[in-house]
Structure 1
């Protein structure tokens, strides 16, 4: 649905976070007198009232009946369409769209490259934007990474290429794209999607439904190997010997060694595979990716993603607050293999199986595991049998400050203090950024210095 099609309809915006604000701004720019209802929190309502917009209605309470008074509801990505009250309102004929969906419905200006995956999508999208800019392309870095595309819709001159990160909440409304990049798939956000099967289906809509001109896929992911790709979509595989892949610490394109990966400012094999995906995406739009590869050496890593905060009293503090699955916590451990590690795990309990994490610790114990958050007790009980015989210290840390204190006591003057929770941050924190900032403060670092995402917007 295009923005112009909203004229004369009963329109609501549900949620006034960044995408909600971008949606309201776009409506006011294109349809200045259009009546709009905003469903929001009391704090957000105060800010909206200060706008003194006579065509704006503000409501705090939201239920199916209130939603059903509207023809179209522009909802925030975090609101599931599969649960009440959205599902109930949909049965009454309400059409739900998102700010991202509105943007994709507008005529394409510039080439669109969309990146998704259970993990690594922010880093890959930022890497891609960095490479495109190194090629002299005016590039927009936007989407789930922290800037809604609607905020950039009327920028002049427009970008030549869009590097867009998409979460599984957003992939269902994508259309008219040049390249879709899918990095990996394993269970996440099951509370939003309702089932593992639906999560995969929603994620893969970026390929199946959007039918991109090129799909860049991970050859090591069995679900992607088996994916039924639209006939008109060409596939470029990465993590495969014929394409962009890793070999003996280097990045290869087929049999050609292109880059010594040891010089990259990104720890871990998974991040080097993210570079392979970004190079494949650049190649997919006709660029000489091999010539661009050395530009990755000047990439500035994103905050809260294996972010080294510094070294203090012999202990390196690493902020991986973006980690929301056990698999991502394992990947973080792999980056510091051979060192003394105290890892902080736990957060919102989505019922994910921590068996894979337990298997990793059984094979390669760490110095200490400190559990915290809503699922901390469950993770503690899962790991307790493994900690017997002093294989590693297992501590119930409670809240962040106590967890950091206990971990530092165990490490003494040597090791890695690693926040890689393997679980979402809410309801204790607003988001993973707030959690990472709290960790930095508890570890003795300035939280104001760690959260800026380099390269957002158009450059």
Structure 2
């Protein structure tokens, strides 16, 4: 759908976060006289009026009747496409779209690499953009990583690297390359079931001319076997990790000890980025040395430094138990006290519990809404390390310092969303940094968002 198609139609915007702001601004730039209704929370009404005084504002969660009044509703990604009210309005003829879908409608000829995955999608997206820019390509980095696409409407790039969440994969238009870094269960509250999550995540395959997937994941290989142009990373015949190096087939290319971002999973993300560049015809071998200058993304295994005798690591982006296990693997050999727990989405913590029974952390501090459930599972399994439950992050940090030995690591890797205590993972990470004694004001954004590089003539 193009923005021009909304002219003289009954249009609503649902959600007033950053995506909602971008949608309103984009529609006003092209359709200044268009009547627009905004559905937002009561706490957002004053800000919404200041942002655009011409909006009709409804400070309620819309029901089916309210939504059915509109020809088109542009919704924010966090609003589930499976809400009963939305489905009922859709059945009555209301069309639902998004800022992502509108951007693709406006840019049908853009050269796009779209990246999704349960884990690794943000880092892989940022790595692709970093390596492409190091090769002299004017590259945009946007999407779910922290910059809505519509904020770049009308701007020019030779390559668009777009991170898409499972909420957004079905909104992508045709694209040159789709990348799937991993596939585990997540966001079951939004999708309703694991099967629907997998199906929604892999809608990216329908849009991608070529699909690049993690060859180390049998379930991902099974679900994408029918794609006519599928490539792999992580396996010996492709870009992969072996003997402490990133390799292209048998050729050793880059020593993973030079990566600032720690852990085997980040080396695998680098393989995905290099394979992606090669898939679109770029010289990945020439770009590989630039891996050494890539800065880790904030809140993703971010070393904060040493304070009061402990080493502090902020992995607030971790919202699944498997992400927490990956964080612990990256710190293998060190004495780690890990902070887990948060908003309860009903995910299965069994793999984490089994791993902790086999090779426990130094101590585990459980917090938040699902802290009691995690603690109970760990105790039932007979985990052979201290397991403590507290109410919130402040309590978790305080307790962690009583268990972690001097020189040890205190790791925030919650394995759960932040919504029980914070607005998002970034606020949680900054709060952790403050509690640890660091200045959190510098942990504000991801390097490289937007468009960088010299445009081609």
Correspondence for 1:349: 344
Question: CA contact under 8 A between 2:307 and 2:436: conserved in structure 1?
Answer: no
Name the SS of the counterpart of 2:260 in structure 1: coil
**1: CA distance, partners of 2:50 / 2:211:** 45
Q: 1:194 aligns with which of 184, 192, 195?
A: 192
Residue in structure 1 matched with residue 397 of structure 2 by the alignment? 404
Paired residues, number: 451
Look up the match of 1:111.
111
Measure, in 2, the Cα distance between the counterparts of 1:52 and 1:215: 41
- The structural deviation recorded for 1:51 is 4.3
**Equivalent residue number for residue 423 of structure 1:** 416
Residues 1:365 and 2:360 are matched in the alignment: yes
1:359 Cα deviation (Å)? 1.1
Alignment partners' CA distance in 1, 2:73 and 2:445? 31
Once residues 141 and 432 of structure 2 are traced to their aligned partners in structure 1, the CA distance between those partners, rounded to angstroms, is: 27
Secondary structure, counterpart of 1:358 in structure 2: helix
Structure 2: tracts of 5 or more residues without a match: 453-457
Counterpart of 1:178 in 2: which secondary structure? strand
- Summarize deviations over 1:199-228 as a string: whole Å, max 9, x none: 000000000x21x22111111111221234
Report what 2:455 is aligned to.
none
2:223 is matched with 227
Within 5 A, what are the aligned runs for 1:56-455?
A: 56-61=55-60, 62-155=62-155, 158-207=156-205, 209-210=206-207, 212-228=208-224, 233-387=228-382, 391-455=384-448
Q: What is the CA deviation profile of residues 275-306 of structure 1, one whole-angstrom value per residue up to 9, with x for unaligned ones? A: 00000111111111011011010001100000
Deviation at 1:119, TM superposition (A): 0.5
Q: Is the Cα–Cα contact under 8 Å of residues 115 and 164 in structure 2 kept in the other structure?
A: yes
| Gaps in structure 1 of 5+ consecutive residues | none
Distance in 2 separating the partners of 1:51 and 1:19: 14
Q: SS at the partner of 1:331?
A: helix
Stretch deviating more after TM superposition (161-170 or 332-341) = 332-341
CA contact (8 A) 1:218 1:224 kept: yes
Contact 2:343 2:370 in 1 (8 A): yes
| Contact 2:336–2:361, Cα closer than 8 Å, also in 1 | yes
Report how far residue 230 of structure 1 moved.
6.0
Cα–Cα, structure 1 residues 334 and 289, in superposed 2: closer, same or farther, change >3 Å? same
Aligned counterpart, 1:32: 32
Question: Scaled by the length of structure 2, what TM-score is found?
Answer: 0.96
Q: Does 1:457 align with 2:450?
A: yes
d(CA) in 2 for partners of 1:143, 1:107: 14
Give 1:270 shift: 0.5
Determine if contact 1:387/1:393 at 8 Å carries over to the other structure: no
SS at match of 2:223: coil
Kindly provide the CA deviation profile for residues 422-455 of structure 1, in whole angstroms up to 9, marking residues without a partner as x.
Answer: 0111132100011111111111111212232100
CA contact (8 A) 1:109 1:159 kept: no
Query: 2:301, 2:444 → 1: CA distance?
Result: 13
Does the 8 Å CA contact 1:142/1:165 hold for their aligned counterparts?
A: yes
Pairwise CA RMSD of aligned residues?
1.3
| Cα separation, 2, equivalents of 1:184 and 1:98 | 25
Deviates more, 1:370-379 or 1:97-106: 97-106
Name the TM-score, length of structure 1 as normaliser: 0.96
Determine helix, strand or coil for the equivalent of 1:360: helix
Could you list the structure 1 runs, at least 4 aligned residues long, displaced by more than 4 angstroms after superposition.
228-231
Q: Quick one: structure 1 residues 52 and 252, their matched pair in 2 at CA, closer, same or farther if it must change by over 3 Å?
A: closer
Which secondary structure state, in structure 1, belongs to the residue aligned with residue 84 of structure 2? coil
